[in-house]
Structure 1
Amino acid sequence: MYKLTFLFCLTAGLLSFWGSTRVNPTALPVLQKSKAKSLFNGKDLTGWHADVPRMDNNPEVKSPFLVRNGMLVSLGTPGGHLITDASYQNYRLEIEYRFAGKPGNCGALVHASTPRALYEMFPKSIEVQMMHQNAGDFWCIQEDIVVPDMEKRRGPKEKWGVNGDKLRRIPNLTDGSEKPLGEWNSMTIDCLGNAVKVWVNNDMVNHGYDATVSQGQIALQAEGAEVEFRKVMLTPITKLTN
Protein backbone atom coordinates (compact mmCIF):
# COMPACT_ATOMS: atom_id res chain seq x y z
CA MET A 1 0.00 0.00 0.00
CA TYR A 2 2.84 2.39 0.87
CA LYS A 3 4.52 1.73 -2.49
CA LEU A 4 1.31 2.38 -4.41
CA THR A 5 0.68 5.58 -2.48
CA PHE A 6 4.23 6.77 -3.12
CA LEU A 7 3.99 6.09 -6.87
CA PHE A 8 0.64 7.85 -7.06
CA CYS A 9 1.98 10.93 -5.29
CA LEU A 10 5.14 10.97 -7.43
CA THR A 11 3.19 10.80 -10.69
CA ALA A 12 0.63 13.36 -9.52
CA GLY A 13 3.40 15.74 -8.50
CA LEU A 14 5.20 15.41 -11.81
CA LEU A 15 2.00 15.94 -13.75
CA SER A 16 1.26 19.04 -11.71
CA PHE A 17 4.73 20.39 -12.42
CA TRP A 18 4.48 19.50 -16.10
CA GLY A 19 1.35 21.57 -16.51
CA SER A 20 2.49 24.43 -14.30
CA THR A 21 2.30 27.97 -15.62
CA ARG A 22 5.64 28.64 -13.95
CA VAL A 23 7.51 27.07 -16.87
CA ASN A 24 7.49 27.63 -20.61
CA PRO A 25 4.96 25.03 -21.80
CA THR A 26 6.72 24.52 -25.13
CA ALA A 27 10.32 24.35 -23.87
CA LEU A 28 12.03 21.00 -23.54
CA PRO A 29 12.27 20.37 -19.77
CA VAL A 30 15.55 19.29 -18.26
CA LEU A 31 15.63 15.93 -16.52
CA GLN A 32 17.41 15.76 -13.18
CA LYS A 33 18.69 12.83 -11.18
CA SER A 34 17.77 10.36 -13.92
CA LYS A 35 20.10 7.84 -15.49
CA ALA A 36 19.76 7.51 -19.25
CA LYS A 37 19.84 4.09 -20.88
CA SER A 38 20.58 3.43 -24.53
CA LEU A 39 18.07 0.98 -26.00
CA PHE A 40 20.49 0.27 -28.85
CA ASN A 41 23.99 -1.00 -28.12
CA GLY A 42 25.45 -0.19 -31.54
CA LYS A 43 26.34 -3.82 -32.22
CA ASP A 44 23.18 -5.91 -32.46
CA LEU A 45 19.46 -5.88 -31.70
CA THR A 46 19.70 -7.24 -28.18
CA GLY A 47 16.64 -6.13 -26.21
CA TRP A 48 14.44 -5.97 -29.31
CA HIS A 49 12.41 -8.41 -31.37
CA ALA A 50 11.01 -8.04 -34.87
CA ASP A 51 7.37 -8.60 -35.73
CA VAL A 52 7.16 -8.86 -39.52
CA PRO A 53 4.11 -10.74 -40.84
CA ARG A 54 5.74 -11.77 -44.12
CA MET A 55 8.43 -13.64 -42.16
CA ASP A 56 5.87 -15.93 -40.50
CA ASN A 57 5.76 -18.68 -43.11
CA ASN A 58 8.62 -17.86 -45.43
CA PRO A 59 12.13 -18.44 -44.07
CA GLU A 60 13.61 -16.74 -47.13
CA VAL A 61 12.17 -13.37 -46.15
CA LYS A 62 14.81 -11.33 -44.36
CA SER A 63 14.10 -8.97 -41.50
CA PRO A 64 13.98 -5.30 -42.49
CA PHE A 65 15.81 -4.42 -39.27
CA LEU A 66 19.59 -4.65 -39.03
CA VAL A 67 22.72 -2.99 -37.69
CA ARG A 68 24.98 -1.23 -40.19
CA ASN A 69 28.04 0.89 -39.42
CA GLY A 70 27.01 1.19 -35.80
CA MET A 71 23.51 2.36 -36.67
CA LEU A 72 20.14 0.70 -36.29
CA VAL A 73 18.56 0.56 -39.74
CA SER A 74 14.99 0.04 -40.89
CA LEU A 75 15.07 -0.93 -44.55
CA GLY A 76 11.39 -0.10 -44.89
CA THR A 77 10.31 -3.39 -46.44
CA PRO A 78 8.88 -5.86 -45.75
CA GLY A 79 6.59 -3.95 -43.42
CA GLY A 80 6.71 -4.60 -39.71
CA HIS A 81 7.90 -3.40 -36.34
CA LEU A 82 10.98 -3.68 -34.15
CA ILE A 83 9.68 -3.88 -30.58
CA THR A 84 11.45 -3.64 -27.24
CA ASP A 85 11.29 -6.75 -25.09
CA ALA A 86 10.65 -4.59 -22.03
CA SER A 87 7.76 -2.27 -21.21
CA TYR A 88 8.24 1.25 -19.87
CA GLN A 89 6.31 3.96 -18.04
CA ASN A 90 7.12 7.62 -17.23
CA TYR A 91 10.11 8.22 -19.46
CA ARG A 92 11.78 10.40 -22.06
CA LEU A 93 12.61 8.77 -25.37
CA GLU A 94 15.28 10.50 -27.45
CA ILE A 95 15.76 9.43 -31.05
CA GLU A 96 18.12 10.68 -33.73
CA TYR A 97 17.17 9.57 -37.23
CA ARG A 98 17.45 10.39 -40.91
CA PHE A 99 16.10 9.06 -44.17
CA ALA A 100 19.01 7.33 -45.83
CA GLY A 101 17.75 7.82 -49.40
CA LYS A 102 14.34 8.89 -50.62
CA PRO A 103 11.99 10.49 -48.08
CA GLY A 104 9.14 8.37 -46.86
CA ASN A 105 7.31 6.96 -43.88
CA CYS A 106 8.33 5.65 -40.47
CA GLY A 107 7.25 6.09 -36.89
CA ALA A 108 8.01 5.55 -33.21
CA LEU A 109 5.25 3.80 -31.29
CA VAL A 110 4.86 4.32 -27.55
CA HIS A 111 2.79 2.32 -25.06
CA ALA A 112 2.66 -0.62 -27.49
CA SER A 113 1.00 -3.83 -26.39
CA THR A 114 -1.09 -6.31 -28.42
CA PRO A 115 0.76 -7.12 -31.67
CA ARG A 116 -0.99 -6.86 -35.03
CA ALA A 117 -4.04 -5.25 -33.48
CA LEU A 118 -4.74 -3.14 -36.58
CA TYR A 119 -4.70 -4.40 -40.18
CA GLU A 120 -2.90 -7.51 -38.90
CA MET A 121 0.23 -5.35 -38.84
CA PHE A 122 0.26 -2.52 -36.28
CA PRO A 123 0.53 -3.14 -32.51
CA LYS A 124 -1.95 -1.46 -30.19
CA SER A 125 -0.20 1.83 -29.38
CA ILE A 126 0.06 5.55 -29.95
CA GLU A 127 2.28 6.31 -32.92
CA VAL A 128 4.47 9.39 -33.09
CA GLN A 129 4.90 9.96 -36.80
CA MET A 130 8.30 10.35 -38.46
CA MET A 131 6.98 10.59 -42.01
CA HIS A 132 8.83 13.27 -43.95
CA GLN A 133 7.15 16.68 -43.46
CA ASN A 134 4.75 15.18 -40.91
CA ALA A 135 7.07 14.44 -37.99
CA GLY A 136 5.22 14.64 -34.70
CA ASP A 137 1.72 13.71 -35.85
CA PHE A 138 -0.13 11.33 -33.55
CA TRP A 139 -1.79 8.23 -34.99
CA CYS A 140 -4.20 6.36 -32.73
CA ILE A 141 -3.82 2.61 -33.08
CA GLN A 142 -6.50 0.95 -30.95
CA GLU A 143 -5.61 3.51 -28.26
CA ASP A 144 -6.69 7.14 -28.05
CA ILE A 145 -5.39 10.51 -26.91
CA VAL A 146 -6.80 14.04 -26.57
CA VAL A 147 -5.23 17.27 -27.82
CA PRO A 148 -6.25 20.93 -27.64
CA ASP A 149 -8.48 22.10 -30.53
CA MET A 150 -9.41 18.48 -31.09
CA GLU A 151 -12.12 18.96 -33.73
CA LYS A 152 -10.11 21.56 -35.62
CA ARG A 153 -7.11 19.26 -35.82
CA ARG A 154 -8.68 15.81 -36.05
CA GLY A 155 -11.88 16.53 -37.95
CA PRO A 156 -15.57 15.92 -37.22
CA LYS A 157 -16.04 14.25 -33.85
CA GLU A 158 -18.48 11.66 -35.22
CA LYS A 159 -15.70 10.32 -37.43
CA TRP A 160 -13.07 9.90 -34.71
CA GLY A 161 -11.90 6.39 -33.95
CA VAL A 162 -8.93 4.15 -33.35
CA ASN A 163 -9.33 1.58 -36.12
CA GLY A 164 -10.56 1.00 -39.64
CA ASP A 165 -11.44 4.06 -41.68
CA LYS A 166 -11.94 6.30 -38.64
CA LEU A 167 -10.06 9.57 -38.21
CA ARG A 168 -7.01 8.31 -36.33
CA ARG A 169 -4.51 11.01 -37.31
CA ILE A 170 -3.95 14.11 -35.17
CA PRO A 171 -1.67 16.49 -37.13
CA ASN A 172 1.27 18.14 -35.41
CA LEU A 173 1.30 21.79 -34.39
CA THR A 174 4.16 23.02 -36.52
CA ASP A 175 5.42 21.63 -39.80
CA GLY A 176 8.83 22.87 -40.85
CA SER A 177 10.73 21.65 -37.81
CA GLU A 178 12.50 18.88 -39.72
CA LYS A 179 16.02 19.20 -41.11
CA PRO A 180 16.71 18.95 -44.87
CA LEU A 181 16.80 15.42 -46.25
CA GLY A 182 20.00 13.59 -45.42
CA GLU A 183 20.56 15.51 -42.18
CA TRP A 184 19.92 14.09 -38.73
CA ASN A 185 16.70 14.92 -36.92
CA SER A 186 16.23 14.69 -33.18
CA MET A 187 12.89 13.61 -31.77
CA THR A 188 12.14 13.76 -28.05
CA ILE A 189 9.04 12.08 -26.66
CA ASP A 190 8.08 12.59 -23.01
CA CYS A 191 5.58 10.06 -21.71
CA LEU A 192 4.32 10.94 -18.24
CA GLY A 193 1.17 9.43 -16.82
CA ASN A 194 -1.47 9.69 -19.54
CA ALA A 195 0.24 12.57 -21.35
CA VAL A 196 2.61 12.55 -24.31
CA LYS A 197 4.68 15.53 -25.48
CA VAL A 198 6.79 15.58 -28.63
CA TRP A 199 9.65 17.84 -29.76
CA VAL A 200 11.36 17.72 -33.16
CA ASN A 201 14.73 19.47 -33.23
CA ASN A 202 13.74 21.20 -29.96
CA ASP A 203 10.46 22.56 -31.36
CA MET A 204 7.39 21.33 -29.52
CA VAL A 205 5.24 19.76 -32.24
CA ASN A 206 2.54 17.91 -30.29
CA HIS A 207 1.04 17.55 -26.83
CA GLY A 208 -1.63 15.00 -25.96
CA TYR A 209 -3.27 14.07 -22.68
CA ASP A 210 -5.94 11.75 -21.26
CA ALA A 211 -4.47 8.89 -23.27
CA THR A 212 -6.16 5.54 -22.84
CA VAL A 213 -2.81 3.96 -21.97
CA SER A 214 0.20 5.01 -19.89
CA GLN A 215 2.74 2.23 -20.30
CA GLY A 216 3.94 -0.38 -22.75
CA GLN A 217 6.65 -1.32 -25.16
CA ILE A 218 8.39 0.93 -27.67
CA ALA A 219 8.46 0.12 -31.38
CA LEU A 220 10.13 1.42 -34.53
CA GLN A 221 8.54 0.87 -37.91
CA ALA A 222 9.48 -0.52 -41.28
CA GLU A 223 6.95 1.28 -43.44
CA GLY A 224 8.32 1.76 -46.91
CA ALA A 225 11.39 3.97 -46.53
CA GLU A 226 14.93 3.28 -45.35
CA VAL A 227 15.67 5.07 -42.09
CA GLU A 228 18.87 5.15 -40.04
CA PHE A 229 18.89 5.58 -36.26
CA ARG A 230 22.05 6.57 -34.45
CA LYS A 231 20.45 7.19 -31.05
CA VAL A 232 17.60 5.53 -29.18
CA MET A 233 17.91 6.67 -25.57
CA LEU A 234 15.48 6.23 -22.69
CA THR A 235 15.57 8.21 -19.46
CA PRO A 236 13.15 7.62 -16.56
CA ILE A 237 11.29 10.80 -15.59
CA THR A 238 11.68 11.33 -11.86
CA LYS A 239 12.13 15.09 -11.76
CA LEU A 240 11.71 17.93 -14.26
CA THR A 241 13.02 21.45 -14.33
CA ASN A 242 13.58 24.27 -16.77
Structure 2
Amino acid sequence: MRRRYKFLSVFVLCWLLQQGLTQGQQVLFEFGEKKDFNDLISGTVAPEPLKWIDVNTSDTSWYRDGEKLVCKGLPIGVVRSEKMYQNFIMHVEWRHLEKGGNSGIFVWCDDEPEEYSRLPSGVEVQMLELDWVNQNKRDGAMPPIAYVHGELFGAGKAKTIPDNPRGERSKSIENRCLGVGEWNKYTVVCVDGTIKLSVNGKFVNGIRESSQRKGYLCLESEGAKIEFKNLHIIELEKGYILPEHIVEAK
Protein backbone atom coordinates (compact mmCIF):
# COMPACT_ATOMS: atom_id res chain seq x y z
CA MET A 1 0.00 0.00 0.00
CA ARG A 2 2.82 2.40 0.88
CA ARG A 3 4.51 1.68 -2.42
CA ARG A 4 1.30 2.61 -4.25
CA TYR A 5 0.99 5.91 -2.36
CA LYS A 6 4.64 6.61 -2.98
CA PHE A 7 4.15 6.01 -6.69
CA LEU A 8 1.09 8.25 -6.77
CA SER A 9 2.95 11.00 -4.88
CA VAL A 10 5.80 10.92 -7.38
CA PHE A 11 3.32 10.92 -10.25
CA VAL A 12 1.43 13.93 -8.87
CA LEU A 13 4.68 15.82 -8.22
CA CYS A 14 5.88 15.22 -11.76
CA TRP A 15 2.52 16.31 -13.14
CA LEU A 16 2.58 19.52 -11.09
CA LEU A 17 6.14 20.30 -12.21
CA GLN A 18 5.18 19.66 -15.80
CA GLN A 19 2.17 21.95 -15.49
CA GLY A 20 4.33 24.71 -14.03
CA LEU A 21 6.90 24.39 -16.77
CA THR A 22 4.25 24.30 -19.44
CA GLN A 23 2.48 27.36 -18.10
CA GLY A 24 5.76 29.22 -17.79
CA GLN A 25 6.47 28.57 -21.49
CA GLN A 26 2.93 29.06 -22.75
CA VAL A 27 2.76 30.57 -26.21
CA LEU A 28 0.88 33.88 -26.12
CA PHE A 29 0.48 34.30 -29.88
CA GLU A 30 1.99 33.52 -33.28
CA PHE A 31 3.29 36.33 -35.44
CA GLY A 32 5.77 36.34 -38.30
CA GLU A 33 7.66 33.48 -39.88
CA LYS A 34 11.12 31.96 -40.00
CA LYS A 35 12.92 30.40 -42.95
CA ASP A 36 16.30 28.72 -43.15
CA PHE A 37 18.61 30.33 -45.71
CA ASN A 38 19.53 27.06 -47.42
CA ASP A 39 15.89 25.98 -47.55
CA LEU A 40 14.99 29.38 -48.97
CA ILE A 41 17.52 28.89 -51.77
CA SER A 42 16.28 25.40 -52.58
CA GLY A 43 12.62 26.27 -52.03
CA THR A 44 11.99 22.93 -50.34
CA VAL A 45 10.56 23.81 -46.91
CA ALA A 46 7.54 25.89 -45.89
CA PRO A 47 8.07 28.80 -43.45
CA GLU A 48 7.87 28.11 -39.73
CA PRO A 49 5.56 30.40 -37.70
CA LEU A 50 7.24 32.44 -34.98
CA LYS A 51 5.78 31.80 -31.53
CA TRP A 52 5.95 34.38 -28.75
CA ILE A 53 6.03 33.90 -24.98
CA ASP A 54 5.10 36.59 -22.49
CA VAL A 55 7.90 37.74 -20.19
CA ASN A 56 6.36 40.60 -18.21
CA THR A 57 3.53 42.20 -20.17
CA SER A 58 0.04 40.62 -20.17
CA ASP A 59 -2.29 38.62 -22.39
CA THR A 60 -4.23 41.84 -23.09
CA SER A 61 -1.18 43.90 -24.13
CA TRP A 62 -1.09 42.36 -27.61
CA TYR A 63 -3.67 41.36 -30.20
CA ARG A 64 -3.86 40.41 -33.85
CA ASP A 65 -5.67 42.62 -36.36
CA GLY A 66 -5.58 40.66 -39.59
CA GLU A 67 -1.95 40.47 -40.64
CA LYS A 68 -0.91 43.13 -38.10
CA LEU A 69 0.21 42.68 -34.52
CA VAL A 70 -0.95 45.51 -32.28
CA CYS A 71 0.74 46.38 -28.98
CA LYS A 72 -1.21 48.63 -26.58
CA GLY A 73 2.02 49.75 -24.89
CA LEU A 74 1.20 48.78 -21.29
CA PRO A 75 2.46 47.40 -19.06
CA ILE A 76 6.05 48.18 -20.03
CA GLY A 77 7.88 44.95 -20.79
CA VAL A 78 8.52 42.40 -23.56
CA VAL A 79 7.42 39.20 -25.17
CA ARG A 80 10.16 36.89 -26.44
CA SER A 81 10.53 34.40 -29.24
CA GLU A 82 10.12 30.74 -28.35
CA LYS A 83 13.55 29.93 -29.81
CA MET A 84 16.97 31.57 -29.70
CA TYR A 85 18.81 32.79 -32.80
CA GLN A 86 22.45 33.48 -33.62
CA ASN A 87 23.01 34.61 -37.22
CA PHE A 88 20.00 35.84 -39.17
CA ILE A 89 18.39 38.51 -41.32
CA MET A 90 15.23 40.13 -39.99
CA HIS A 91 12.70 42.18 -41.91
CA VAL A 92 9.91 44.01 -40.07
CA GLU A 93 7.51 46.86 -40.73
CA TRP A 94 6.21 49.06 -37.93
CA ARG A 95 4.31 52.27 -37.28
CA HIS A 96 3.48 54.31 -34.21
CA LEU A 97 -0.09 55.42 -33.63
CA GLU A 98 0.77 58.10 -31.06
CA LYS A 99 3.10 61.09 -31.33
CA GLY A 100 6.31 60.55 -29.40
CA GLY A 101 5.74 56.79 -29.18
CA ASN A 102 8.54 54.52 -27.98
CA SER A 103 9.21 50.85 -28.78
CA GLY A 104 11.78 48.56 -30.34
CA ILE A 105 12.91 45.03 -31.03
CA PHE A 106 15.69 43.37 -29.02
CA VAL A 107 17.99 40.80 -30.61
CA TRP A 108 20.38 38.33 -28.90
CA CYS A 109 18.32 39.00 -25.80
CA ASP A 110 18.03 37.19 -22.47
CA ASP A 111 14.86 36.57 -20.46
CA GLU A 112 15.72 38.51 -17.29
CA PRO A 113 14.16 42.00 -17.11
CA GLU A 114 16.19 44.57 -15.23
CA GLU A 115 14.42 45.82 -12.09
CA TYR A 116 15.03 49.47 -12.94
CA SER A 117 13.58 49.28 -16.46
CA ARG A 118 11.49 46.07 -16.81
CA LEU A 119 13.48 45.44 -20.01
CA PRO A 120 15.99 42.61 -20.53
CA SER A 121 19.60 42.63 -21.73
CA GLY A 122 20.22 42.50 -25.46
CA VAL A 123 20.88 44.73 -28.44
CA GLU A 124 17.96 47.10 -28.96
CA VAL A 125 16.89 48.15 -32.43
CA GLN A 126 15.17 51.42 -31.50
CA MET A 127 11.74 52.38 -32.87
CA LEU A 128 10.78 55.94 -31.88
CA GLU A 129 8.16 58.28 -33.30
CA LEU A 130 9.67 61.52 -34.62
CA ASP A 131 8.01 63.82 -32.07
CA TRP A 132 9.83 62.03 -29.24
CA VAL A 133 12.66 64.57 -29.37
CA ASN A 134 10.20 67.45 -28.92
CA GLN A 135 8.54 65.76 -25.95
CA ASN A 136 11.80 64.90 -24.18
CA LYS A 137 13.78 68.12 -24.01
CA ARG A 138 16.18 68.49 -21.08
CA ASP A 139 16.97 71.96 -19.78
CA GLY A 140 15.41 73.30 -22.96
CA ALA A 141 17.77 71.31 -25.19
CA MET A 142 16.38 68.91 -27.77
CA PRO A 143 17.96 65.43 -28.06
CA PRO A 144 19.82 64.76 -31.32
CA ILE A 145 17.31 64.14 -34.13
CA ALA A 146 19.30 61.05 -35.16
CA TYR A 147 18.11 59.44 -31.91
CA VAL A 148 14.70 58.75 -33.46
CA HIS A 149 15.95 57.33 -36.76
CA GLY A 150 16.99 53.84 -35.73
CA GLU A 151 19.57 53.84 -32.95
CA LEU A 152 21.34 50.62 -31.98
CA PHE A 153 22.74 49.97 -28.53
CA GLY A 154 23.47 47.36 -25.91
CA ALA A 155 20.74 47.40 -23.27
CA GLY A 156 21.22 46.15 -19.72
CA LYS A 157 24.29 43.91 -19.46
CA ALA A 158 24.82 43.71 -23.24
CA LYS A 159 27.77 45.74 -24.53
CA THR A 160 28.51 46.82 -28.09
CA ILE A 161 30.87 49.06 -30.05
CA PRO A 162 28.96 51.68 -32.10
CA ASP A 163 29.71 52.40 -35.75
CA ASN A 164 28.43 55.98 -35.39
CA PRO A 165 28.92 56.85 -31.71
CA ARG A 166 26.52 58.89 -29.63
CA GLY A 167 28.11 57.92 -26.35
CA GLU A 168 27.78 54.13 -26.10
CA ARG A 169 24.95 54.14 -28.65
CA SER A 170 25.14 54.14 -32.42
CA LYS A 171 23.04 56.72 -34.28
CA SER A 172 21.88 56.54 -37.87
CA ILE A 173 23.98 58.56 -40.29
CA GLU A 174 20.87 59.59 -42.24
CA ASN A 175 17.37 60.52 -41.04
CA ARG A 176 14.99 58.14 -42.81
CA CYS A 177 12.18 57.19 -40.40
CA LEU A 178 8.60 58.31 -41.05
CA GLY A 179 6.24 59.77 -38.46
CA VAL A 180 3.03 58.78 -36.70
CA GLY A 181 0.68 56.61 -38.75
CA GLU A 182 3.24 55.86 -41.49
CA TRP A 183 4.85 52.46 -42.02
CA ASN A 184 8.62 52.07 -41.62
CA LYS A 185 10.67 49.15 -42.93
CA TYR A 186 13.69 47.77 -41.09
CA THR A 187 16.13 45.18 -42.40
CA VAL A 188 18.43 43.96 -39.62
CA VAL A 189 21.44 41.76 -40.45
CA CYS A 190 22.92 40.02 -37.40
CA VAL A 191 26.14 37.99 -37.86
CA ASP A 192 28.77 37.02 -35.27
CA GLY A 193 28.32 40.02 -33.00
CA THR A 194 27.86 42.56 -35.79
CA ILE A 195 24.54 44.21 -36.69
CA LYS A 196 23.74 46.36 -39.71
CA LEU A 197 20.43 48.25 -39.92
CA SER A 198 18.64 49.40 -43.06
CA VAL A 199 15.90 52.01 -42.55
CA ASN A 200 13.36 52.33 -45.36
CA GLY A 201 15.63 50.89 -48.01
CA LYS A 202 19.13 52.07 -47.03
CA PHE A 203 21.75 50.81 -44.56
CA VAL A 204 22.47 53.68 -42.17
CA ASN A 205 23.61 52.21 -38.85
CA GLY A 206 25.57 49.41 -37.22
CA ILE A 207 27.29 48.02 -34.13
CA ARG A 208 29.98 45.37 -33.68
CA GLU A 209 31.56 43.10 -31.05
CA SER A 210 28.36 42.54 -29.13
CA SER A 211 28.91 40.74 -25.82
CA GLN A 212 25.74 38.71 -26.56
CA ARG A 213 25.57 36.90 -29.90
CA LYS A 214 22.90 34.25 -29.48
CA GLY A 215 19.61 34.81 -27.73
CA TYR A 216 15.92 35.54 -28.06
CA LEU A 217 14.11 38.15 -30.10
CA CYS A 218 11.96 40.44 -27.96
CA LEU A 219 9.13 42.75 -28.99
CA GLU A 220 8.89 45.76 -26.71
CA SER A 221 5.86 47.33 -25.07
CA GLU A 222 6.94 50.75 -23.83
CA GLY A 223 3.98 52.98 -23.12
CA ALA A 224 2.61 53.72 -26.60
CA LYS A 225 0.42 51.92 -29.11
CA ILE A 226 2.38 50.49 -32.03
CA GLU A 227 1.65 48.10 -34.89
CA PHE A 228 3.96 45.53 -36.52
CA LYS A 229 3.57 43.57 -39.74
CA ASN A 230 5.54 41.44 -42.22
CA LEU A 231 8.02 40.06 -39.71
CA HIS A 232 10.35 37.62 -41.43
CA ILE A 233 13.44 35.86 -40.08
CA ILE A 234 15.94 34.18 -42.41
CA GLU A 235 18.22 32.04 -40.28
CA LEU A 236 21.80 31.90 -41.54
CA GLU A 237 24.62 29.43 -40.97
CA LYS A 238 26.15 29.29 -37.49
CA GLY A 239 29.41 31.09 -36.86
CA TYR A 240 32.22 30.99 -34.32
CA ILE A 241 30.82 31.63 -30.87
CA LEU A 242 32.01 31.30 -27.27
CA PRO A 243 29.83 30.09 -24.37
CA GLU A 244 29.86 33.55 -22.78
CA HIS A 245 28.23 34.97 -25.92
CA ILE A 246 25.12 32.81 -25.48
CA VAL A 247 22.32 33.84 -23.13
CA GLU A 248 20.88 31.34 -20.70
CA ALA A 249 18.19 29.24 -22.38
CA LYS A 250 14.74 29.01 -20.82
Q: State the match for 1:50 in structure 2.
A: 54
Q: Kindly state the Cα deviation for residue 67 of structure 1 after the two structures are TM-superposed.
A: 1.2
What is the RMSD computed on CA atoms of the aligned residues? Answer: 2.5
Q: Secondary structure at the match of 1:106?
A: strand
The one-letter code sitting in structure 1 at the alignment partner of 2:219 is L
Could you tell me how far apart the structure 2 residues matched to 1:73 and 1:234 are? Answer: 19
State whether structure 2 residue 208 is matched by structure 1 residue 209. yes
1:172 is matched with: 172
Q: Name the counterpart of 1:14.
A: none
Superposed, which structure 2 residues align to 1:177-188 within 5 Å?
177-188=176-187
Conserved 8 A contact 2:102-2:223: yes
Separation of aligned partners in 2, 1:149 and 1:229: 27
Question: SS at 1:82's partner residue?
Answer: strand
Where is the helix percentage greater, Structure 1 or Structure 2?
2
Aligned residue in 2 for 1:148: 163
Name which of 94, 103, 119 aligns with 1:122.
119
Q: Is the 1:39–1:232 contact (alpha carbons within 8 Å) kept by the matching residues of 2?
A: no
Give unmatched runs, 5+ long, in structure 2: 1-35, 41-45, 131-147, 238-250
TM superposition score normalised by structure 2: 0.65
Identify which of 122, 147, 150 aligns with 1:136.
Answer: 150
> Aligned partners of 1:136, 1:149: CA distance in 2, in Å?
12
Identity of aligned residues (%): 25
Corresponding position of 1:11: none
Count of aligned positions: 180
For 1:51-90, list aligned pairs within 5 A: 51-52=55-56, 63-90=60-87
* Alignment correspondent of 1:219: 218
C-alpha distance in structure 1 between counterparts of 2:62 and 2:80, whole Å: 11
Counterparts in 2 of 1:85 and 1:230: CA distance versus 1, 3 Å: same
Q: Distance in 1 between matches of 2:105 and 2:231?
A: 10
C-alpha contact 1:143 1:213 (8 A) present in aligned 2: yes
Cα deviation, residue 182, structure 1? 1.5
Q: Distance in 2 between matches of 1:37 and 1:196?
A: 24
**Alpha carbons of structure 1 residues 228 and 39: separation in structure 2 relative to 1, 3 Å:** farther
CA distance in 1, matches of 2:70, 2:48: 16
Instruction: Give the distance between the partners of 2:73 and 2:98, measured in 1 at CA.
Output: 11
Change over 3 Å in CA distance of 1:119–1:63 after alignment to 2: farther
CA shift at 1:81, angstroms?
Answer: 0.5
Conserved in 2, the CA contact under 8 Å of 1:37 and 1:235?
A: no
Determine if contact 1:34/1:237 at 8 Å carries over to the other structure: no
Could you state the TM-score of these two structures normalised by the residue count of structure 1?
Answer: 0.67
Structure 1 residues 102 and 120, CA gap change in structure 2 (3 angstroms): closer
Deviation at 1:236, TM superposition (A): 1.6
